[in-house]
Structure 1
Amino acid sequence: MATYGADYLKRLLAAVERFEEVFERWMETQVESDHATSRGLWPTVWTEEGQDEATVRRLELDVAEVSGAAARAVAVTGAGIGVAGIGVVDPIENWSLMSSPKALFTPREVRTTAARVRGRLSTMIDEAEAGSESTPPGFAPSELHEVIWTAAAAHWTTHQYRVAVREASEALNVHWKERLGRNDVSDTSFWQQTLSGGEPEIGKPKLAWPGPVDDQTVKSMRGGLAPLAGALNNLATGLNLTVRNVATHTRDELTEQEGMERLAAYSYFARLLDQCEIRRSEEEPEST
């Protein structure tokens, strides 16, 4: 099971409590029903007569905003509910479906899910705090680079470690290709061109480690930044070949440990890239 720090879990707990507060404020403007009354064909909530439409819309937006943060807690605790013919659904993230025909769940189920998530988070916080007093700090996937963990989180929390690694690797490729406007080239070629030496061409910007070329950034490095640029190029190619391609083209599941090691490698690579400078051809205006 993934290890989360107590501070992170406490933030999730606060997000769920905030969701409950805002959700109940919105429910005060609604008529509450259930599946038996709606016969499975109608919404399980609808706006009460006489309510100010602008106020209701504002409250709906408030719920939508806080549900985003609270939904992460459902994934972390595995507290979704099963819906026949659909699978596991997160009532907090999909609260607005109660207002649609053939509503999947009721306000009671949203409240029950939130309460179950709070209970599980409280237990996880206690365990995390107790563990931190007796064991070395654990590895927290949530502290990985934002691009990596955002792409991996939903799959990681359902123990699909291979898929989590695949999505994280794809996300980093997409992130930089979109940022540099290079959707015209394959992933491996993109990194080879973007991290290679030489001057950038029009439409082909490069990422370069900052500083003068002859700067001895690392004391033991011979030749300054050039070897480091080549190392980044090799790292990108190596990760694509040994991690991304394997996770994409095979169906062999990874263990949690194997998945963590691969995500950590991509996270480190992502942080190195963040430190690089984007260099464009002098004939090409820098995009915003």
Structure 2
Amino acid sequence: MSNEYSEDYLRKLRDAVERFEAAFDAWMATQVESDHMSSRGLLPTVWTDDGQDEAEVRKLELNVAEAAGLAARAVAVTGAYINIAGIGVIDPIANWSFMSSPKAPLAPRDVRMTSANVKGRLDAMIADSEATAEAGIPSFAPAQFHPVVWAGAAAHWTTHQYRVAVREAAEGLTVHWKERLGRNNVDDTVFWQQTLAPGTGEPGRPKLVWPGEREDKTVKSMRGGLEPLAKSLNALATGLNLTVRNVTTHTRAELSEQEAMERLAAYSYLARLLDHCEIDRGEADEGAAGSGSGNA
């Protein structure tokens, strides 16, 4: 796998994850550990055990926070995010403190599993970096693609399953927006056609709207020489679903790394355009159109 990170940098990231694990384990020794089943989704998944020195616990918490600041970069590089229903893509290392909140979206197991996963992916990237350096191949970093796209692709990309990586990235982006808009009741292609179609949103059928006045040059080109960007965005999303997602889902023809990177780059560009869109939920959410950005 090509990447733009040096072997030394990747090893430093791995060391940062190990330091986070040590700090996290030290703090967890002062906590009562639960999980989502036991907390019934309403309570924290960790809380301070009886008899602990509060000053010492605070010190250990700060140690974890500092270590997480360094280790979280490793999640971005490896794409080891997790997807939580109703929230979306999340970095368990950067957001470890969520475990202490009511309705905690994370449990200690999520943090530990992510740390182990990140180390494994970094080991694979270090091996690839060594091979690339020996072969003198120019570097490229698919980990810099849009985080939703890379989160779907990363686990399969590091094992060189490029067709599956592209398929999961394509499906992941669609699932991400279906969940945000509450549209899990429609097929993928129809979802994009309806969501990016002209007109205003309706209750139960919101739309993603390119921001700005229709006369703006970012929305409608000069002299009418090009399609309005909003219409082109619909065509881009629908076209990618038909030519990339459907092909990688319904065929078994493997992709080369170059072919997969080109497809992921197209989806990453689409994802960043969608981030600029505003959500129009129709009359039931009057006044919300234009006030809520689609930024992921």
TM range (shorter): 0.5 to 0.7
Q: Which residue in the other structure is 2:240 paired with?
A: 239
Match of 1:3 in 2: 3
Distance 2:153 2:124 in 1: 22
Residues 195-214 of structure 1: pairs in structure 2 closer than 5 A: 195-214=196-215
After superposition, the C-alpha distances for 1:190-238 in whole angstroms (9 at most, x for unaligned) are: 1111111112222111111111011122795444996211101110111
1:171 aligned residue: 172
> Cα distance, 1:122 vs. partner?
6.7
1:51-62 maps to which residues of 2 (within 5 A)? none
Which SS does the other structure have where 1:283 is aligned?
A: helix
User: Structure 1 residue 282 and structure 2 residue 283: aligned?
Assistant: yes
Contact 1:145 1:270 survives alignment (8 Å): yes
Equivalent runs, 1:71-220 vs 2, <5 Å: 138-217=139-218
How far apart in 2 are the matches of 1:198 and 1:27? 52
Question: Identity over aligned residues, as a percent?
Answer: 60
Please give the TM-score of this superposition, normalised by the length of structure 1: 0.61
Distance 2:209 2:122 in 1: 46
Aligned mates of 1:224, 1:11 — CA distance in 2: 51
Matches within 5 A, 1:18-57: 18-19=19-20, 21-22=22-23
8 Å contact kept, 1:142–1:149: yes
**CA–CA separation in structure 2 for the residues paired with 1:118 and 1:235:** 33
> Using a 3 Å threshold, how does the CA distance of structure 1 residues 197 and 260 change in structure 2: closer, same or farther?
same
Q: Which runs of 5+ in 2 are unaligned?
A: 31-51, 80-107, 110-115
Pick closer, same or farther for the CA change 1:8–1:179 going to 2, 3 Å: farther
Which one-letter code corresponds to 1:177 in the other structure?
K
TM-aligned CA deviation for residue 120 of structure 1: 7.6
Contact 1:216–1:222 at 8 Å: present in 2 too? Answer: no
Deviation at 1:125, TM superposition (A): 6.8
- Which residue number corresponds to residue 87 of structure 1? none
The answer to whether the Cα contact below 8 Å between 1:161 and 1:255 also exists between their aligned partners in 2 is yes
- Preserved CA contact (<8 Å) 1:16 1:70: no
Shift of 1:246: 0.3
| Structure 1 residues 244 and 280: alpha-carbon distance in aligned structure 2, compared to 1, 3 A threshold | same
Alpha carbons 2:146, 2:268 under 8 Å: kept: yes
- Which stretch shows the higher mean deviation, 17-26 or 200-209? 17-26
The CA deviation at 1:139 is 2.1
Amino acid in the other structure paired with 2:186? V
Distance in 2 (alpha carbons) for counterparts of 1:178 and 1:135: 40
Given that 2:213 and 2:219 are in contact with CA atoms closer than 8 Å, whether structure 1 keeps it comes out as: no
Q: Aligned letter for 1:273?
A: L
Residues 157 and 226 (structure 1), Cα distance of their counterparts in 2 relative to 1, 3 Å cut: same
The Cα of 1:269 is off from its aligned counterpart by 0.3
Give the CA deviation at 1:249: 0.3
Q: What's 1:253 paired with?
A: 254
Equivalent pair of 1:214/1:225 in contact (CA under 8 Å): no
Unaligned stretches of 5+ in structure 1? 30-51, 77-95, 98-109
Q: Is the 8 A contact 2:210 2:219 kept in 1?
A: no
Whichever of the two has the greater Rg, that structure is 1
Determine the C-alpha separation between the residues in 2 that align with 1:175 and 1:231: 21
Counterpart of 1:80? none
Report what 1:39 is aligned to. none
Paired residue type of 1:229: A
Query: What SS class does the counterpart of residue 188 from structure 1 fall into?
Result: helix
Shift of 1:177: 0.8
Contact kept, 8 Å, 1:152 with 1:167, in 2: the verdict is: yes
The one-letter amino acid of 1:187's match is: D
